[in-house]
Structure 1
Amino acid sequence: MGTRVPDRRGELLESRIVTNAQTPRHIVWDWNGTLLDDNDAVVAAVNAVCTAFDRDHIDLDEWRSMFSRPLLQCYERLLRRSLSAEDWARIDVLYHEAYRNLLHTCGLATGVPDVLRDWVAAGRSQSLLSMWFHDELVPLVTELGLHELFDRIDGLRDDVGGGSKAEHLVRHLEAQQLDARDVVLIGDVLDDAHAAEQAGTRCVLLTTGVMSRSALERSGFPVVDSIPEALAVLDDDLAA
């Protein structure tokens, strides 16, 4: 259970609107790189891994050029070597320790929390689905004063991350008894697009995270540069 709180790739947005009679009334938000502006912490944590494996440090553009899921294969490309189970466990510890040490430096994305409040005030609903660890996600969202804006918050309950978001999204929707046709997922990586396709929801992708615009555009979903722009896409959809 989550925390309760007070193949159509390549199609254009216009064709999605025409072929789907229902318009999105519920947003499932991603967290890292979407609502939370954590790119600097992410790159620093990746570079902690690079240091441990004798690899030169990288910048955000280079990380964006190689980021993908599953993360194990992504790190194999980064480190230019095959990784054993022991290596992967070590990387998981190194990354998350470095990231946690910098988490206090991360702020909210442009437009947050105002756009979240406006969406709720308009009589719509929203929830949060993250691949960050659930037991850490909920206190952080609460500390930032956002928890009351979400109908449900779900984070990762596994000990080690890096897998696909698709099955988590399906369970997230089922737990809220949501019709996928009423839902749009807003995220920052192709895994969000893949999850939306698998679950049957819409998707809007942001360039604010760890993937390049060109990579995101291959999904066929709308790609925008900010959360206010994402909400504008949905407002246009609702007005259509």
Structure 2
Amino acid sequence: MDKHVIWDWNGTLLDDFAITARITIDALDDLGYPDVTEDDIRDHYRRPLSGYFNALLGRTALSHELDHLGDSYATRYAAAMHELPLAPDALHALRAIAPFATQSLLSMAPHPQIAALIEHHRLGEHFSLIQGFAGTGHPSKRESLLTHCETLGVAAECCWMIGDTVDDFDAASPLGIRTVLVTTGMQARAALAATGAPVVDSLADASRLILETR
């Protein structure tokens, strides 16, 4: 096999946009910012997250506000995560790719959370490597992606990434990894399309594009 596919998790294989948006919307309401919508979430999402929250507030977020937004997410997401479904065509896409490419998973979510959800959904057999964030601080996804490829022992030019954010593209592109972005997650189509990467509406379309591209 001369292809390797690196999957993002949240908003890509896992269908968790609705709960992620709802947690943020409710936390902003707690802070006195009602009427934020899912469209606002997708329009303003970016990394680092402080910039995302600044955009939603329309000003620089204060430290206690950032703490509230972060704590609300951690608590409510942990309580709901085992009820969250996979993307409707996640298994189809994983199985379609399997005969033609190896696959791995890289997420910036905490590794214990990723490991628990992969076990819950019985997906472990699909991946040669599963990595969530296991360190301290806030490394970029590019740094994590570079380490991921080094651990796998695969050349960047053989890799594709499937993700749902501009951050996924920004991590992969400088390393020479091609990217397909799906519209099922955190960012609006216009932001994804502005990267110049292929943008599709389903994982089935993403897998088909990768398999048809030489």
Give the shorter-chain TM-score range: over 0.9
> For residue 231 of structure 1, what is the amino acid of its counterpart?
S
2:115 pairs with 1:138: yes
Report the counterpart of residue 3 of structure 1 in structure 2: none
CA distance in 1 between counterparts of 2:135 and 2:68 reads 16
Report the CA distance between 1:159 and its aligned residue: 5.4
CA distance in 2 between counterparts of 1:131 and 1:34 reads 13
Report the counterpart of residue 50 of structure 2 in structure 1: 72
Paired residue secondary structure (1:37): coil
CA distance in 2 between counterparts of 1:194 and 1:58 reads 27
CA distance in 2 between counterparts of 1:58 and 1:227 reads 28
> For residue 139 of structure 1, what is the amino acid of its counterpart?
A
Among candidates 170, 183, 186, match of residue 146 of structure 2 = 170
Report the CA distance between 1:91 and its aligned residue: 2.1
2:134 pairs with 1:157: yes
Alignment TM-score, normalising by the size of structure 2: 0.93
Question: Deviation string for 1:197-222 (max 9, x for gaps)?
Answer: 12210000001111111110010110
Question: Deviation string for 1:119-155 (max 9, x for gaps)?
Answer: 22x1420000011110111011111010111000111
Question: Deviation string for 1:6-39 (max 9, x for gaps)?
Answer: xxxxxxxxxxxxxxxxx96110000001000111
CA distance in 2 between counterparts of 1:24 and 1:195 reads 21
Note the 1:1-240 alignment, pairs <5 A.
Answer: 25-120=3-98, 122-158=99-135, 164-238=140-214
Question: Deviation string for 1:48-93 (max 9, x for gaps)?
Answer: 3202311114222111111111110110121233234444233211
User: Contact 1:188 / 1:209 at 8 angstroms: preserved in 2?
Assistant: yes
CA distance in 1 between counterparts of 2:40 and 2:135 reads 28
Gaps of 5+ in 1: 1-22
**Percent of residue pairs bearing the same amino acid type:** 33
CA distance in 1 between counterparts of 2:123 and 2:57 reads 37
CA distance in 2 between counterparts of 1:52 and 1:96 reads 16
User: Contact 1:33 / 1:188 at 8 angstroms: preserved in 2?
Assistant: yes
Gaps of 5+ in 2: none
CA distance in 1 between counterparts of 2:35 and 2:114 reads 28
Paired residue secondary structure (2:160): strand
Instruction: Report the aligned-residue RMSD.
Output: 1.8
Alignment TM-score, normalising by the size of structure 1: 0.83
CA distance in 2 between counterparts of 1:99 and 1:134 reads 14
Paired residue secondary structure (1:44): helix
How many pairs were matched up? 214
